């Protein structure tokens, strides 16, 4: 899976180098066997971005992109879109969001939802359904979504990547875990709680993160059907 992520990242036109940051020698060895580049990091890293910060400390780059290792179907164009936004905007971090097309994904805590302001800056990320659609007559949110599929349009899924200005990434890595980050288990909330601006670019290409065994089998089938 991690090799697929590396190959996807290298297909992005604005990526010049892809490095796997891991504390597991087995992963590093697998990447090296397939011609990739890996850096062994400390096993004490709290989050993926903290691990990336450790690996990036000795790397010179205009922008550091954290593509999560459980996103083997991420589209290279999605990566480029986030980089372009950060390069030409005034935000501190850039990421992307995708449409949600099923009520199950809205209610699934493994699918992270994001809401933004009118400028596309993140207001909040959550594992819970946000915004919450108020219903009447005792109708649950799940029932409301099943009855009216158009309600799904208010939800956006957060893609599994972040683009950082290097100084921002290193600053965040030196901070303590924030209260909301601890509660939700979402590292990007540390940045929001600290006042950093996260630009969220809307993209059309959908990714499938591997969070469960069912996700693994689904993604494996897609990859096997599309390998040329």
Q: What is the pLDDT of residues 69-115, one digit of tens each?
A: 888 788 899 999 999 999 998 899 999 999 999 999 999 999 999 99
DSSP H or E segment with residue 201: strand 198-202
Inside any domain, residue 96: yes
Inside any domain, residue 25: no
According to DSSP, residue 96 is labeled: E
pLDDT at 220: 76
With contact defined as beta carbons under 8 Å apart, do 159 and 209 qualify? no
Residues 6+ apart with CB under 8 A from 54: 21, 41, 42, 45, 173
Work out the pLDDT band at 202, boundaries 50, 70, 90.
Answer: very high
DSSP for 105-173? Answer: HHH-TTS-EEEE-TTSBEEEEESS-SSPPP-STT--HHHHHHH-GGGGGG-EEEPSEEEE-HHHHHHHH
Inside any domain, residue 129: yes
Beta bridge partners, 134, equal none
Q: Express as a percent the part of the chain with pLDDT over 90.
A: 72
Give me the domain span that covers residue 123: 62-206
Inside any domain, residue 35: no
Tokens of 188: 């990007």
pLDDT at 138: 81
Inside any domain, residue 99: yes
Please determine, for residue 127, whether its predicted confidence score (pLDDT) is greater than 90.
yes
Residues 6+ apart with CB under 8 A from 105: 111, 155, 157
pLDDT at 209: 67
Please determine, for residue 163, whether its predicted confidence score (pLDDT) is greater than 50.
yes
Inside any domain, residue 2: no
- Tell me the whole-structure pTM to 2 decimals: 0.88
Q: What is the pLDDT of residues 44-72, one digit of tens each?
A: 989 989 999 999 888 889 999 999 888 87
Please give the C-alpha separations between residue 54 and each of 21, 51, 71, 163, 213, in angstroms, as whole numbers. 8, 5, 21, 15, 29
pLDDT mean over 16-38: 93
Handedness of CA 103, 108, 110, 113 (dihedral sign): positive
**Environment class of residue 228 by beta-carbon count within 10 Å: exposed (0-12), middle (13-18) or buried (19+)?**
exposed
- Which CATH number belongs to the domain containing residue 182 in this structure? 3.90.550.10
Inside any domain, residue 137: yes
Inside any domain, residue 31: no
- For the chain, the domain total comes to 1
pLDDT mean over 161-188: 95
pLDDT at 228: 46
pLDDT mean over 14-29: 94
């Amino acid at each position: 899976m991690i090799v697929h992520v590396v190959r996807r990242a290298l297909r992005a036109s604005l990526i010049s180098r892809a490095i796997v940051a891991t504390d597991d020698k087995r992963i590093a060895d697998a990447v090296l066997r397939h011609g990739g580049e890996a850096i062994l990091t400390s096993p004490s890293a709290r989050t993926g971005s903290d691990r990336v910060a450790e690996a990036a400390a000795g790397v010179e780059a205009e922008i550091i992109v954290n593509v999560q290792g459980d996103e083997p179907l991420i589209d290279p164009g999605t990566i480029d879109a986030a980089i372009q936004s950060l390069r030409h905007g005034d935000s501190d971090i850039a990421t992307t969001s995708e449409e949600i097309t099923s009520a199950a994904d809205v209610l699934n805590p493994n699918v992270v939802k994001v809401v933004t302001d009118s400028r596309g800056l993140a207001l909040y990320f959550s594992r819970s359904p946000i915004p919450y659609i108020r219903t009447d007559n005792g109708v649950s949110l799940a029932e409301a979504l099943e009855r009216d599929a158009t309600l799904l349009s208010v939800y956006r899924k957060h893609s599994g990547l972040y683009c950082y200005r290097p100084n921002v990434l290193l600053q965040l890595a030196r901070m303590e875990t924030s209260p909301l980050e601890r509660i939700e288990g979402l590292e990007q909330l540390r940045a929001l709680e600290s006042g950093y601006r996260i630009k969220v670019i809307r993209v059309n290409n959908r990714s499938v993160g591997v969070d469960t065994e069912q996700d693994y089998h689904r993604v494996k089938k897609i990859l096997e059907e599309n390998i040329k």
